[in-house]
């Protein structure tokens, strides 16, 4: 039920970090995986790394916030690599500032990258999935979609919107045998969150606030991703799986 052999997946923002780890996880479950990043130079070493492990890997360098680039990028990918069965909308950034001081440019950049991109790539991918009779879309959300903290109002708003976009995609596309679900990571140790882990006070708060007593690792997200990408989740629609060490349910 969890075998992805014969399936083709695209993971956005997969030149490094969580995206690359998820791509590797799907590949190890049998999928052909296409890596995406704005920077083609970043994809090349990641792609070679997966190829050395014996995985069939493609590359799709395009701007996920640009509708024309998304259309051209996916057209080329499906023509030269394979039609998509699985899409993971993972691309995301942070631009931290208090809301009262946040530049509107930082607001728009985070909303476009973390939310609008999922609509653009999801819309284009879904059209092909509908024509072929089904598919899987997984949106990478965040614990902060429900539990914001100071300085990340743009990020929380984008991820909260992504939760509702996931549900909206479900009510429109489930009848086409497309399962759309989300994964909401808690505090995962990555390059983007490293400043928090290196701040003794914040690190102590995060570890103490998490019932599991530790930071998450990108690899902790692979199981949920493989489940949602596989036939094991054939009747799972519009759900959010929190991978957060229990933080969401603890006082």
Q: Show which residues are catalytic.
A: 155
β-bridge mates for residue 182, sequence order: 139, 240
Report CA Rg, the chain. 17
- Asked if residues 90 and 83 have their Cβ atoms less than 8 Å apart, the reply is no
Q: Supply the DSSP string of 131-174, one letter for each residue.
A: HHT-EEEEEE--GGGTS--TT-HHHHHHHHHHHHHHHHHHHHHG
| Burial (Cβ within 10 Å: 0-12, 13-18, ≥19) of residue 115 | buried
Q: Which two tokens stand for residue 96?
A: 């931290």
**Strand ranges of the sheet holding 86-89, from the earlier edge strand across to the other edge:** 57-61, 32-37, 8-11, 86-89, 135-140, 178-185, 240-243
How many residues are present in the chain?
251
| Crossing angle of the two packed helices 40-52 and 17-28, in degrees rounded to 10 | 30
């Amino acid at each position: 039920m969890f075998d992805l052999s014969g399936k083709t997946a695209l993971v956005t923002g997969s030149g490094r970090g969580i995206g690359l780890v998820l791509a590797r996880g799907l590949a190890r479950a049998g999928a052909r995986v296409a890596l995406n990043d704005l920077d083609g130079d970043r994809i090349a070493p990641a792609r070679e790394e997966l190829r050395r492990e014996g995985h069939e890997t493609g590359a799709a360098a395009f701007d996920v916030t640009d509708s024309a680039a998304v259309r051209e990028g996916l057209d080329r990918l499906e023509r030269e690599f394979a039609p998509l069965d699985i899409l993971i909308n993972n691309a995301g950034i942070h631009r931290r500032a208090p809301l009262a001081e946040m530049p509107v440019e930082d607001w728009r950049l985070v909303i476009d990258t973390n939310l609008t991109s999922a609509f653009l790539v999801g819309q284009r991918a879904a059209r092909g999935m509908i024509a072929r009779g089904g598919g899987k879309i997984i949106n990478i959300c965040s614990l902060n979609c429900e539990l914001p903290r100071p300085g990340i109002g743009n990020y929380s708003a984008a991820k909260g919107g992504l939760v509702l976009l996931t549900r909206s995609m479900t009510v429109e596309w489930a009848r086409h045998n497309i399962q759309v679900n989300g994964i909401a990571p808690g505090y995962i140790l990555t390059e983007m969150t490293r400043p928090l882990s290196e701040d003794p006070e914040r690190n102590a708060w995060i570890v103490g606030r998490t019932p599991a007593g530790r930071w998450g690792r990108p690899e902790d997200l692979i199981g949920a991703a493989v489940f949602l990408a596989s036939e094991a989740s054939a009747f799972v629609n519009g759900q959010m799986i929190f991978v957060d060490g229990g933080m969401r349910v603890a006082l």
